[in-house]
Amino acid sequence: MTRPNVLVVLSDEHTAAAAGWAGHPQVQTPHLDRLAAQGVSFDHAYTNSPMCVPSRLSLMAGQYVHQIGAWDNGVIPGPCFRTWGHHLREAGYTSVIAGRTHFNGPDRLLGFDRRLTDDLDFWIDHSGRPPRRTTDWRRPSNSHVTENGPGDHVHTQHDVAATDAALEFLRDPGPDPFLLYVGYMHPHFPLVAPPEYRALYDPADVELPPAVADEHPVISLLRHGFRNDEPVTEEQFREAMVCYWALISHLDHQVGRLLDAVPGDTVVIYTSDHGEMAGQHGIWQKQCFYEPAVRIPLLLRHPSVQPGRNDDHVSLVDVLPTLRDIAGLPVDPALPGRTLLDPADRPVLSEYHAQGMVDGGFMLKSGPWKYCYYGAGQRPQVFNVDSDPLELDDLSTDETLVAKLDAELRSLLDPDQIDVLAKSDQAARTAASTRG
The arrangement of secondary structure in 6-344, i.e. its CATH architecture, is 3-Layer(aba) Sandwich (3.40)
State the DSSP string of 316-330.
GGGHHHHHHHHTTPP
131: DSSP letter: P
How sure is the predictor about 1, in pLDDT bands with cuts at 50, 70 and 90? low
Least confident of 173-182, 209-218, 287-296, 352-361: 209-218
Cis preceding-peptide flag for 368 (omega within 30 of 0): no
Question: What tens digit of pLDDT does each residue of 222-259 get?
Answer: 999 999 999 999 999 999 999 999 999 999 999 999 99
Q: What is the mean pLDDT of residues 64-68?
A: 98
**How large is the C-alpha radius of gyration of the chain?**
21
Kindly state the helix (H) or strand (E) to which residue 372 belongs, with its residue range: strand 369-373
Confidence of residue 428 (pLDDT cuts 50, 70, 90): very high
Mean pLDDT of the chain: 96
Residue 11 has pLDDT above 90, yes or no: yes
Helices (H) and strands (E) in the chain, counts: 13, 14
CA distance 280 to 210: 8
Closest CA to 107 of 96, 118, 98, 99: 118
Pairwise CA distance, residues 65 & 68, whole Å = 6
Find the mean pLDDT for residues 392-407: 97
